[in-house]
Amino acid sequence: MKIPLPPVPLPEHLIDVARSFEDGTNTPAEPRDAATVILMRPSADGPEVYYLRRHVSMDFAAGMAVFPGGGVDRRDFDASVGWAGPSPAAWAARLGCDEETARALVCAAVRETFEESGVLLAGTSETSVVEDTTGDDWEADRVALESRELALTDFLNRRGLVLRTDLLGVWDAWLTPIFEPKRYRTWFFVASLPTGQVTRDVSTESSSVAWIPARVAADQADAEELALMPPTYLTSLEVGGYSSPDEVLGVAASRSVEMFTPSVEPLGEGWTLSMPDRLRPLVAARHRA
């Protein structure tokens, strides 16, 4: 079986570029904080995950299948946002950042998921969750959030809602390599599709969307039928190893993360990008298959 990613051999010219940043000749771009959510639902083939295929005209991850997510907005830092579940301090300990950033990341995760899939992880209390967000009034609010005409706090307060932060789990954290011109510190969250809610093809940044079992998405990437960036591929491979979303969330409940930055490392007679050590056995097993 051909395994095109990862590890992927890097072209020599990219190695030279990477070294120019490592030795200080070039200065890396300043990364932006971001959140992404692996939205899951049960299937006979393990956790099924919501993927968006980004427009080929996008300046980052063009044409790639990705999870819902995006950069933190300055208004995500609003401390008056309605909140239910683990405290920002508890999230900070698990995300490996300060409390203010943790609050903003959780807000961004919920906001971006709603903007890009129509799914809202919020309810009228700490035990309830919105069951239907398909009405025209919900769509108008989603569009206003996406265009930054409406802040998440105002949106939730007007509807009498609180963030259900307990519906999120921590999964991973990746920082774009130093030689990339656009860089993100991205925290990966996991969540199950709430009962009654449905995803919709609403994102202006995607050309199509699809629910695909995570393990099948990894197989499709191996067969070059689906374009995934290495973090998305490795996450799909790992999540696809579990039998259900509940099992994934159970694992996430005890996880804390450290930001991982891929670096250049040897691959045979060439070079590739590194990956977290815990994921190396999964990739090695694919090569042995």
Strand pairing category for 184-192 and 169-175: antiparallel
Task: For 135-185, write each residue's pLDDT tens digit.
Answer: 999 999 999 999 999 999 999 999 999 999 999 999 999 999 999 999 999
State how far the Cα of 128 lies from the Cα of 140, in Å rounded to an integer.
23
Q: Reduced to 3 states, what is the DSSP secondary structure of residue 36?
A: strand
Overall residue count recorded for the chain in this entry: 289
State how far the Cα of 58 lies from the Cα of 237, in Å rounded to an integer.
25
Residue numbers of the chain with a pLDDT score lower than 70: 1-6, 55-62, 203-207, 289
CA dihedral 95, 98, 102, 105 (to 10 degrees): -90
Expressed in angstroms, the distance from the first to the final Cα of the chain is 7
Q: What is the reported pLDDT for 16?
A: 85
Q: What is the reported pLDDT for 147?
A: 94
Take residue 77 and report the two structure tokens written for it: 């830092």
pTM of the model: 0.92
State how far the Cα of 136 lies from the Cα of 43, in Å rounded to an integer.
30
DSSP string, 210-254: EEEEHHHHHHHHHTTSS---HHHHHHHHHHTTSSSHHHHHHHHTT
Residue 168: CB atoms within 10 Å:
25
State how far the Cα of 86 lies from the Cα of 167, in Å rounded to an integer.
10
DSSP H or E run through 117: helix 99-117
Q: What is the reported pLDDT for 57?
A: 45
State how far the Cα of 38 lies from the Cα of 214, in Å rounded to an integer.
10
Residue 283: CB atoms within 10 Å:
18
Strand pairing category for 69-71 and 32-41: antiparallel
Report angle CA 271, 275, 281 to the nearest 5 degrees: 105
State how far the Cα of 239 lies from the Cα of 237, in Å rounded to an integer.
6
Q: What is the reported pLDDT for 261?
A: 95
Strand pairing category for 169-175 and 162-164: unpaired
